[in-house]
Amino acid sequence: MRHNIVLVALAAVSTLTGCSMFQRGPRFQPVSEADFGRLSPAQMGPVDSARGELFSAHDAVARAKLRLQEVQQEPARARADETAARAELQRAGAELDAAASSADPGAKARAKELDAAARLRAQAARAHTGFAQRQVDARQAEVDMGEARVEVAEAELERAKLTALRQARIAAATKYDAAPFDAHVAQAEKGFQDARARAAEAARRSDQSRFAWSTLTQQYQARVQGESPPAGTGAGQALPVAPPPPPPALPPASPPAGASASGTGQ
């Protein structure tokens, strides 16, 4: 009985292994340095072109990383904005409490307006925090997309080496099957397309959150600028409120240079 169980288990393992090998197909192996060295400088055309694409992809990643660094301090500035907005809200609350016991209708009106403006500023500050983080996420997604493009360029470079060997009619080219090279490029291209979709979604969310922050900031500034100058002194006096700076303009996202036609044209 035990012998039969062992035989069944071995047969199952053999079947699974065979299926796995069938699904994977030939394993990708790059052109060896010895075979690649058979090419003369005049026969390096496909390789030189692929190397140019790879250089451009690396350059695009470097620029994407610089854009990421430029926005990484924005969340800290947004948190400081929120802290200032909370302090303003507390002062407005104190003014509202003081005006509640006042017989002056004007003081009550000013306190209510100050409180409404402070609440609007707090909303804008929270929107600033949301935008800051989503802007960082979008810039990181650009870096990820660029690095995925580098992987495509690296795979295309390996395929270009085989292409150069074949075009030069070097006998060593017959040792290599083109299918694994094509599959390697296709897999890298799939990763790039996925990364591009994630970057597009991250950029969309960043734009939406930036619009929300900009709208609330403009509403707050309009409300503050429409207020009458504070009058009187003492506990009922409305404190001046400095509007926060307008949202910064986002630098345009530079697409990875040298992207394939099946990509973004980046």
What is the average per-residue pLDDT within 112-117? Answer: 90
Rounded Cα distance between 140 and 68, Å, is 6
Percentage of the chain lying above the pLDDT 90 cut: 63
Rounded Cα distance between 62 and 56, Å, is 10
Q: Which helix (H) or strand (E) holds 109?
A: helix 105-167
* pLDDT for 160: 97
Rounded Cα distance between 213 and 52, Å, is 41
Q: Which helix (H) or strand (E) holds 179?
A: helix 178-225
pTM: 0.71
pLDDT at 189 over 50: yes
95-118 residues labelled b (16+ CB within 10 A) or e (exposed)? bbebbeeeeeeebbebbebbbebb
Domains and their CATH numbers in the chain: 48-225 (1.20.1270)
